[in-house]
Amino acid sequence: MKSMDMPRLVRWIPPSVSSIKINVDGSCNGSNGLCGAGGLLCDCEGHWITGFSANVGKIGVIATELYAIRRGLMICAELGYSSVWCESDSKEAIRLCLLPSIPQHHHFAVIIADIHHLLRQSWNCHLSHVLREGNSCADLLAKSCVNQVDILKLWQTPPAFMSSALLVDALVVTFLT
């Protein structure tokens, strides 16, 4: 840590009572280039609603992060939620999603246009950045699927490997970074 950097307290922040929260993440394996995306929906008490993990092939880290945001928003829309808070630990993906317009020939124009379309639906949807430590459950889902056979797996119940991380979030444990 640089001497001028102030330590920060980081934790998973629950959504308001009338909202749900989706945390999403992308992960790329440095040794083989395979990428995975994951995300989970939780209520205001940190209870699991649903989750997803997807093996997205070798598409690169930003495309994987954007895929995770799009897939998460699609699930929220399909389930009919009217108030959604979506968090990602990718500042660049969030920045791209919040651009008022995207050049037609931008490398990620199609997926960003899909996200813009989802954001314009008749719901209250907020995108924001979260530090990695506040996004650990989505990170676990993203890393778990890099080598999975299923292209997309929907989790109606949390996988066993997530129990400790979900408990940390539900108890609102704070980390010093």
- Continuous segment of H or E residues that includes residue 52: strand 48-57
Q: If you search the block for the tokens 């070798």, which residue do you land on?
A: 58
In tens digits, the chain (177 residues) has pLDDT values of 455 678 888 888 889 999 999 999 999 987 788 999 999 999 998 899 999 999 999 999 999 999 999 999 999 999 999 999 999 999 999 999 999 988 888 899 999 999 999 999 999 999 999 998 889 999 999 999 887 777 899 999 999 999 999 888 877 778 777
pLDDT for 5 equals 77
Task: Return d(Cα 1, Cα 176) in angstroms, integer.
Answer: 12
pLDDT for 25 equals 98
pLDDT for 51 equals 97
pTM above 0.85, yes or no: yes
First-to-last CA distance in the chain? 9
| The pair of three-digit structure tokens given for residue 145, joined into one six-digit string | 């699927």
83-88 and 20-28 strand pairing: parallel
pLDDT for 145 equals 87
Q: If you search the block for the tokens 């490997």, which residue do you land on?
A: 161
pLDDT for 9 equals 80
Task: Return d(Cα 103, Cα 6) in angstroms, integer.
Answer: 37
Furthest-apart CA atoms within the chain: distance in Å: 47
Q: Give the chain's length.
A: 177
CB burial string 123-152: b at 16+ within 10 A, e below: eebebebbeebbbbbbbbbbbbbbeeeeee
Selection from 1, 8, 138, 14 nearest residue 64 by Cα: 138
pLDDT for 38 equals 97
